[in-house]
Chain A
Amino acid sequence: MLRRLALMVFVLWGVTLAAFVISHVVPADPAAAALGNNAREAQLQEFRVRNGLDKPMVVQYGVYMGRLFHGDLGTSLRTQNGIAADLAQFFPATLELTLVAVVFALFIGLPLGMLAALRHNRPPDLLARVFALVGGATPVYWLAILALNVFHERLGWLPGPGRLDAYSLAPPVVTGLVTIDAALAHDSEVLIDALRHLILPGLVLGAFSAALLTRMTRSAMLEVLSQDYIRTARAKGLPGRRVIWKHALRNASLPILTVLGSLFGSLLTGAVLTETIFSWPGIGGYATSSAVSLDFPAVMGVTLVAGLAYSVVNLLVDLLYVVFDPRISFS
């Protein structure tokens, strides 16, 4: 376990180094990007000195890492805000969306995959396979535009872009997750509004994962169902439901869990397109605007948080392995 944690720190350090080097080899001047087209040379120089951009790269990295050890992610060149504060503002929006997407993916992918395996080569299986194929191959931006057009613009069933209706106002920030904050503020109207706003982007973002999960569940279940012990269990006269849930699914859960873990990580960082189309004020938009304006400290912050989230989820998956399969242990 300790080794795992040490490895995680090592990986994160690697992430900072790679991100730092990559963001600093771009042949452009962050001072000019921050101050715009008309800034004078003296202003640019003053900005560089103030933000330590005049120092050699090695020194800049040293300063950055020194601050990082004190929990300081630095200051954004563009907004002049603390990066930690910026991330604290944008990350919850992405997390909320991602959690909803994972829930959707689980609720669609798991049952569909199981159904497909149990009705192997029959219509439900065919349906699941088509869904897995189409869902996995559909570009997310296209799906997003289509979903908005049909369910919001034409049918008017669901609200459009944003986390809340333009006329309703966000609850006081406690966790940053609007649904939770609305519940804490006993504001049922905003809570319902927030939940309704989560449906479309959540489904769109979750669609790819649901498709992948369907396929994984189907093949894992198929494999398990053909094993001897399932036949034995059935022969013993155990009820079908018990066989499926207790024996088959439990044994098929490891590959599913692995996929789910890596999906969560990629969802967290890959929500950029969905966030853009749904005007979702999350980390995706922050990352792109920071990258475009050469805001190195902000880019570093986003990379680090994404790396951390990914590592933590992977660690959790590994821990869950132990729960699902007693043969594995950390010693």
Chain B
Amino acid sequence: MKRTIAASYPARPSLVPRLLALAVALTLPLASAQSARQTTLVLGGDFSDLITLDPGVSYEFSGSLITGNLYDTLVGFEGNDLSHIRPRLASAWKITPTATGSQITFTLRNAKFSTGRPVTSADVVYSMNRVISLKSPSSFLLTDVANLKVGSVTAPTPTTVVFDIPKTANPNIVLAALTFNVGGIIDSAEAKAHEQNGDFGSGWLRDHSAGSGPFKLNRWDRSAQVALDVNPNAFRRSINIKRVILRYMLESSAQQTALNSGEIDVAWDYTPDAFNAAQSNPKLKALKTSTFQMAYLGMNSAKGQPFEDPRLREAVRYAIDQDGIIKSLLQGLGRKVQTIVPLGLAGSNPATPYSYDPAKAKALLSAAGKPNGFDVDFLVSTGSCSGGVPCQDLAAKIQSDLAKVGIRANIKQMVNAELLTAYRAQKAPLIQVAWSPDYPDADGNGTPLADYNAHSLAWRNGWNNPQASKLAQSAAIEVDQTKRIALYKQLTDLMVKEGPYAILYQPYKPVVVNASVVGFVRNANGDVQFEKIAKK
């Protein structure tokens, strides 16, 4: 017989009842285990990036995946549709201009936390102020992107919340940022009860939950598994899944074994090879799920750096055999993109002006005064790159592509943390990395990739283009959707020609599920709504 995880042990019963219990246990386990299996969803994957389940602090993929099911945000997305923001804890909202910017007024629905307490506007105010004060890795979404301060969010009535936003922020981007787990609403009474040394309950919330989402945390055994139980108070009702278990399985081979033997229902991290094999297996469903990630080469364009001359950057874009990378290395698990806003976001630009053309690349090199090519240090991460390809394989392909036109890329492999340090210090002549936006809006790429002043990717590549900065800034705060998309068109067209990037691909994330699992959808943000899943 299966117990609940957190069950406490009763005092030892006397012998006779224990023998009886044993007899029952020996005859019954199959039946009860069967029904538990039917209502338990087990995911196997690499969840080792999980460091906290506090929605205000978590900034990792696994953290967002789980907290998205433990906590409700005011607004959210449904399923795969990331272009329409929908009601969640807020049943309605309206945006009104003010003298200093704008106001978003949310009306809360009638909802309860897993603790049984009602969700009130005071909880919303507490949750927002908490994130701002915590200065967590994701706080900047509220402080820098939404320009909120403690006091910006107020609660005129128990069911109304008002966000005061200055002119420098776009209310639509604020809404998009609030869909991320940083906007998760916490039971303030519970958090305050567990506060220690002014941590806003962060230590406790690392491995406990106090939200209104469809699930509540049962237990997190670090490096082993995370177990979620259905939250009986939730308004997002789970169809028939009562428990979700995320098992740490780092190896694709271990996931394959476990999925084939029925031990897990969903494999989260398959390699392209394993994914291809799964596609022909009728017992499995192989899902190519979208992402907003972009694998790219960063080219240092600062004065005196190898890619100062824009013609050399263009040469690289012509020299890279994107189709070859997608077909052979990714085995189709990627899309060809060349502009800086990923496909699937409003403002993305599907243009692919660069075809694979080594002759043209050579001509550009000659025009830039480098007819014999040049040497450049090529910084590459150890481990796996987006799309599940080993970074060194990808780097070897790029090295050979570049060699064909005379660019001798000298591969320097290093752990990711080391790579990042060099990149941040503007010390990467040529680098192979990936980016994914922090919130599903074109600005999540526009500002960091185009605006030097944002001190992010454009800055790291020493690329300062005032026109691009201006376009990114205007597009960010433009409220009119048509005008905004036109601005992004201009920005992406400029960037594809001038920018310091050679976009390699936008990967799909392969997820393989047992054929009996229905309703499994992973959106491009990496979110899965567990309550919508059922097992046949």
A80-B51, A161-B249, A277-B253 known; A292+B415 contact, CB < 8 A: yes
By the criterion CB–CB under 8 Å, are B137 and A39 in contact?
yes
4 closest Cβ pairs, A-B complex: A33-B417, A28-B418, A281-B223, A281-B224
By the criterion CB–CB under 8 Å, are B254 and A278 in contact?
yes
**B7: nearest chain-A partner, CB-CB:** A169
B421 proximal to A (CB < 8 A): yes
Contacts of A36 in B (CB 8 A): 59-60, 137
A247 proximal to B (CB < 8 A): no
A32, A145, A149, A293: the one contacting B424 at CB < 8 Å is A32
Query: Complex: how many Å from CA A39 to CA B423?
Result: 13
By the criterion CB–CB under 8 Å, are A160 and B438 in contact?
no
Give residues 397-438 of B contacting A (CB, 8 Å): 414-418, 420-422, 424, 435, 438
**Chain A min CB distance to B261 (Å):** 6
By the criterion CB–CB under 8 Å, are B258 and A160 in contact?
yes
0 or 1 for each of B32-59: is its CB under 8 Å from A? (1 = yes)? 0100110010101000100110000001
A331 proximal to B (CB < 8 A): no
| B interface residues (Cβ-Cβ under 8 A, vs A) | 1-5, 8-9, 12, 18, 22, 25, 29, 33, 36-37, 40, 42, 44, 48, 51-52, 59-60, 135, 137, 140, 144, 206, 221-225, 227, 245, 247-251, 253-254, 257-258, 260-261, 263-264, 383, 414-418, 420-422, 424, 435, 438, 448, 455-456
Contacts of A161 in B (CB 8 A): 249, 254, 257-258
**Chain B min CB distance to A48 (Å):** 13
Give residues 3-47 of A contacting B (CB, 8 Å): 26-30, 32-33, 35-41, 43, 46
**A28: nearest chain-B partner, CB-CB:** B418
Contacts of A172 in B (CB 8 A): 8-9
**Chain A min CB distance to B230 (Å):** 16
B52, B137, B263, B383: the one contacting A165 at CB < 8 Å is B263
Query: Complex: how many Å from CA A79 to CA B207?
Result: 11
By the criterion CB–CB under 8 Å, are B51 and A78 in contact?
yes
- Most chain A CB neighbours (cut-off 10 Å) among B36, B424, B438: B424
By the criterion CB–CB under 8 Å, are A46 and B135 in contact?
yes
**Chain B min CB distance to A47 (Å):** 9
A86, A166, A189: the one contacting B264 at CB < 8 Å is A166
Q: 4 additional contacts, CB 8 Å, given A160-B261, A285-B248?
A: A27-B421, A29-B417, A33-B416, A277-B254
Contacts of B415 in A (CB 8 A): 26, 28, 292, 294
Q: What would be 29 A-B contacts, judged by CB atoms less than 8 Å apart?
A: A26-B415, A26-B418, A28-B415, A32-B417, A32-B420, A33-B417, A38-B137, A79-B51, A80-B51, A80-B52, A89-B222, A152-B257, A161-B249, A162-B224, A166-B247, A166-B264, A167-B42, A169-B3, A188-B25, A189-B1, A276-B251, A277-B254, A279-B250, A281-B248, A285-B48, A285-B250, A289-B48, A292-B416, A293-B417
Contacts of A188 in B (CB 8 A): 22, 25
A167-B40, A169-B4, A188-B22 known; A90+B223 contact, CB < 8 A: yes
A163 proximal to B (CB < 8 A): yes
By the criterion CB–CB under 8 Å, are A40 and B417 in contact?
no
**A190: nearest chain-B partner, CB-CB:** B3
A43, A159, A167, A294: the one contacting B417 at CB < 8 Å is A294
**Chain B min CB distance to A196 (Å):** 13
- Most chain A CB neighbours (cut-off 10 Å) among B22, B223, B261, B438: B223
**A46: nearest chain-B partner, CB-CB:** B135
Contacts of A120 in B (CB 8 A): none
Contacts of B48 in A (CB 8 A): 285, 289
**Chain B min CB distance to A153 (Å):** 5
A27-B421, A160-B254, A294-B417 known; A285+B9 contact, CB < 8 A: no
Give residues 162-178 of A contacting B (CB, 8 Å): 162-163, 165-170, 172
Query: Complex: how many Å from CA A294 to CA B40?
Result: 36
By the criterion CB–CB under 8 Å, are A27 and B260 in contact?
no
**B256: nearest chain-A partner, CB-CB:** A153
Contacts of B422 in A (CB 8 A): 27
Contacts of A153 in B (CB 8 A): 257, 260-261
A39-B137, A148-B257, A152-B261 known; A167+B37 contact, CB < 8 A: yes
